[in-house]
Structure 1
Amino acid sequence: MGIRAVLSKPLAAIIVNQQKKWAAQPALSQVKIFKNIIHKAKNTAFGKDHGFENIQTYEDFKKQVPIRDYEALKPYVDKILQGESDVLWPGKPAYFAKTSGTTSGTKYIPITKDSIPNHINSAKNALLSYVHETGKSQFLDGKLIFLSGAPTLEQKAGINTGRLSGIVNHHVPNYLRTNQLPSFETNCIEEWEEKLERIIDETIDQDMSLISGIPPWVQMYFDRIQARVNKPIKDIFPNFEMFVYGGVNFEPYKNKLYESIGKKVDSIETYPASEGFIAYQDSQKEDGLLLLLNSGIFFEFIPAEEYFDENPTRLMIDQVEMDKNYALIINSNAGLWGYSIGDTVKFVSMNPYRVVVSGRIKHFISAFGEHVIGEEVENAMKATCEKFENVKITEFTVAPQVTPKDGLPHHEWFVEFDNPPIDLEAFSNELDINLRKRNSYYDDLITGSILRTLKIRTLKKASFINYMRSEGKLGGQNKVPRLSNDRKIAEAMEKYTH
């Protein structure tokens, strides 16, 4: 056993012990962060504009600080981009994480010196939690690959700016750099397919033990390796035993990924965002991700059904309920205040507080009042594939068809099968039944003959890869939305149907 594997075990015991202490006092942990970040930011432009000097309690805070998305925060970000200091947080950000926006175009999310540990330590602690629980640490001695965006940074108002995964790459601990792949030069390649081929050149003959990335792009990596060497991944990387992922629900990809590998491997789910590292899987035995209540972020939760109301209910951690969808709001030492990151979460444990990501606030279908969310379509597909055991899904997305050429309106599912069902109609009917079980409004619309049952449009191989390529979003941290309330993606997928 190597030095990394040996030393990780006592460190893991320390980290997990600290984790248990703050997790056992969730409200107190959050109040401490709340008071700390309000105090530190009281003399910033934002703090002065919102009366931080007079905020003593969470009730005071809610009166002073409204909920914002990026567009509403942008005037403050623009001040930083114009060279001003002490705008959202004391001084200037250490970085801007650049992400794709909608209304505002490119978004520049501040990362401060105070918030960097949230991003770096959380990823490390996820691995150490696994080491402590399972006793397995050998994977730390092998080669580790992180399929991520380019680490190249540009300057914006004197501030280093780039993709979150690229920024984090600059903070990988030295003890891991010696076994990290791909090389920095390869990682800097912007064009995903060229980069992928170079990554394969560098890794195909290495002792890979940990692979990290978003599932569809890891699957593409596996597919390209197997196109060169007609073997399962386990024969190419016999010591590969840990898969770390985040950003999307693993379930739709799991069967195909394991088939490519040729065996099951342990996995750790993480919940990183440019705005902050929110949660990670701290146990292989329990459902959900441990919400990081002691890492520079003060969380608020809005019942999802109230999100678009003028004055929605805003809750602290000790006011939430199990199995209810909440819009996630963060306030942090990165200088984000009342900030909606656009995700919805659901609590699956309250001792400690663990969540699952249930969808996106803006990714839903409610063309007829059904408000179908990501969690519902993903779980419906998972249940259907479990019944049709030989069926494997590459990717899918769903949109409303409000004005079909004939018949009633319906939900249209664009599905790329790796292994399609023999009887597509039976598969479609089962999928519809499973969605109706999960969403009573959708069921009522079918029963009332407002909608007809869903329709599946099958897609050619590599359709989603080709679509993402056409959008300039192939690889890295990019994801296809599972749900749209309009026809933009659906119309683009039309040309890939059989």
Structure 2
Amino acid sequence: MGIRALLSEPLAKYIVQKQREWIERSVEVQEEWRKRLVKQAGATQFGKDHFFRDIHSYADFRQAVPISDYEDIKGYIARIKQGEENILWPGKPLYFAKTSGTTSGTKYIPISKDSISNHIDSARNAILNYIAETKKAAFLDKKLIFLSGSPVLTETGGVLTGRLSGISNHHVPAYLRSNQLPSYETNCIEDWETKLEKIIDETLGQPMSLISGIPPWVQMYFDRIIERTGRQIKDVFPDFSLFIYGGVNFEPYRAKLFESIGKPVDSIELYPASEGFLAYQDSQYEEGMLLLLNTGIFYEFIPAENYYDENPVRLSIGEVEVGRNYAVIINSNAGLWGYSIGDTVRFVSTNPYRVIVSGRIKHFISAFGEHVIGEEIEKALQYAMTRHPEVEVTEFTVAPMVSPAEGLPYHEWLIEFAREPASPEQFAQDIDQKLTELNVYYDDLITGNILRRLIIKNLPKNAFINYMRSQGKLGGQNKVPRLSNDRKIADELSGLATS
């Protein structure tokens, strides 16, 4: 066993023990963080504007701090970008994480000196949990690849600015840098396809043991390697034993990814966001990811069905229930207050608090009142794929067809198959049947002849890659929305498919 693997075991044991201590006090720990955050930010501009000095309870906090999104804090961010200090959090941010917004254009999410450990330590601790549970650490002594955005940073108002994955790249521990791939120079390449070819040049022939990235871009990496070598990944990288991923639901990609690999490998799911690192898979044997309640974030949760109410109920961690979907609201030591990150989660356990990401609050289809969410369409597709094991899906998205040329409206599923179903009609019927079981409103619309059953539109190879390229979002941390309540994405995909 190499030195890295040897030293990781006592550290893993220590981290897991400290984790157990705060897990046993989860509700108290969250209340302690609420008090600490309010106290530290009392003299900031936001704290003064919202009378933090008068907050003495969670009820006071809910009264003083409104639910917000980026548009609501844009004025504060603008002042930070102009060089002002003590606006959302004491001092100036250490970084701005740039991320794409749908209505706000580019977002500049602050990362403070206090909050950077949330991003860096959480990623490390996910791996240490794995080592503590499985006793597998040998992978640390071989090559590790992190498919990420460029680490090149610019300045905005004196604040270093870049993509979150690129920022994180600057904080890879020194003891791992010597076996990290790709090289810094390759990581700095902006064009994804050029970068991908260089990554393959650098990684072929190396003893790769860990691969990390968003599943569709890892799949693209695997596809290019197989095209070059004619071999499965297990034969190209016989030491590959651990896959780390986040950003999207893994299930629609699992079959094709593992077929490309050619053998089972362990995996760790992460829940990182520019706004904070929220959760990670702490066990190979338990469902869901451990919500990180002791890393500088005070969480609130709004039942998803009440999110758009005028005064939605806001719940603290001790008030959530297993099985319900909640919109995630964070208050953090990066200076985000009452901030809706746009995701919904569902708790699968409250001892400890474990979640799965169930969708995006703005990503749904409700053109007819059905309110179909991401989790439901992913489950429906997964069900159909288990009934049609020959099927492999490269990528997909769903949109309403409100005014078809003839017949009733329907949901259109735009799917790029790696392997098509032997019976396309039965495959579509199985998806539809499962969706009616999962969503009573959709079922009512089908049985009431308001909607007809879904229709699948086959897209040619690379349709989604071409779409992302056309949007300037190929590679990195970018993802195609699973579903939309309009046809903007669907029509552009259809146009690319026929052009």
Question: Could you tell me which residue of structure 2 aligns to residue 431 of structure 1?
Answer: 431
Paired position in structure 1 for 2:248: 248
In 1, the alpha carbon distance for the partners of 2:459 and 2:424 equals 13
Does residue 204 (structure 1) correspond to residue 204 (structure 2)? The answer is yes
1:228 Cα deviation (Å)? Answer: 0.8
Query: Aligned-pair distance for 1:495?
Result: 2.8
What residue is the counterpart of 1:7 in the other structure? 7
Using the TM superposition, give the Cα deviation of residue 56 of structure 1 relative to its aligned residue in structure 2, in angstroms: 1.0
CA distance in 2, matches of 1:221, 1:279: 26
Overall identity of the aligned pairs, in %: 66
Partner Cα distance (1:47, 1:342) in 2: 23
State the SS of the aligned residue for 1:15.
helix
Taking the aligned partners of 1:111 and 1:265, their CA distance within structure 2 comes to: 33
| 3-state SS, counterpart of residue 16 of structure 2 | helix
Paired residues of 2:247 and 2:271 also in contact (CA < 8 A): yes
Query: Are 1:458 and 1:497, in contact at CA under 8 Å, matched by a contact in 2?
Result: no
**Mapped contact 1:402–1:409 kept (Cα < 8 A):** yes
Gapped regions of structure 2 (runs ≥ 5): none
Q: Separation in 1 of the partners of 2:47 and 2:287? A: 38
Deviation at 1:205, TM superposition (A): 1.0
Residue 103 of structure 1 deviates from its aligned partner by 1.6
Letter in 1 for 2:473: K
1:460 touches 1:496 (CA, 8 Å); kept in 2?
A: no
Matched, 1:471 2:467: no
The structural deviation recorded for 1:481 is 0.2
- Counterpart Cα distance in 2 of 1:173 and 1:285: 28
Deviations 1:3-30 (A, max 9, x none): 1111111100000011111111111110
What is the CA distance between 1:102 and its match in structure 2? 1.7
The aligned residue for residue 81 of structure 2 is 81
Q: TM-score, normalising length from structure 2? A: 0.99
Aligned residue in 2 for 1:179: 179
2:367 is matched with which residue?
367
> Offset of 1:497 from its aligned partner?
4.6
Query: 1:211–1:244: 8 Å Cα contact kept in structure 2?
Result: yes
Shift of 1:496: 4.6
Match of 2:30?
A: 30
Aligned to 2:411: 411
What secondary structure does 2:99 align onto? strand
Aligned to 2:144: 144
Q: SS of the counterpart of 1:171?
A: coil
Aligned residues: 498
**SS of residue matched to 2:194:** helix
Q: Deviations over 1:407-456 (max 9, x none)?
A: 10000000000000121111111110011111010001000000000000
Question: Equivalences for 1:73-472 in 2 at 5 Å?
Answer: 73-472=73-472
Question: In the alignment, is residue 45 of structure 1 matched against residue 45 of structure 2?
Answer: yes
Could you tell me how far apart the structure 1 residues matched to 2:294 and 2:28 are? 10
Q: What CA distance in whole angstroms lies between the structure 1 residues aligned with 2:372 and 2:49?
A: 38
**Distance (whole Å) between structure 2 residues aligned to residue 299 and residue 5 of structure 1:** 34
Query: In structure 2, how many angstroms separate the alpha carbons of the residues matched to 1:189 and 1:328?
Result: 34
* In 2, Cα distance between equivalents of 1:488 and 1:239: 43
What is the rounded CA distance, in whole Å, between the counterparts of 2:474 and 2:304 in structure 1?
Answer: 31
User: Normalising by the residue count of structure 1, what TM-score does the alignment of the two structures yield?
Assistant: 0.99
Root-mean-square deviation (CA, aligned residues, Å) is: 0.7
Contact 2:390 2:422 in 1 (8 A): no
Q: In 2 relative to 1, CA 342–292 (structure 1 residues): closer, same or farther, beyond 3 Å?
A: same
Distance 1:264 1:255 in 2: 11
* 1:469 counterpart letter in structure 2: R
* Distance in 2, Cα, partners of 1:45 & 1:102: 27
Do the aligned residues in 2 keep the contact of 1:409 with 1:452 (CA within 8 Å)? yes
Deviations 1:221-256 (A, max 9, x none): 001111110001001100000000000000000100
Write the distance in 2 (CA, Å) between the matches of 1:38 and 1:45: 12
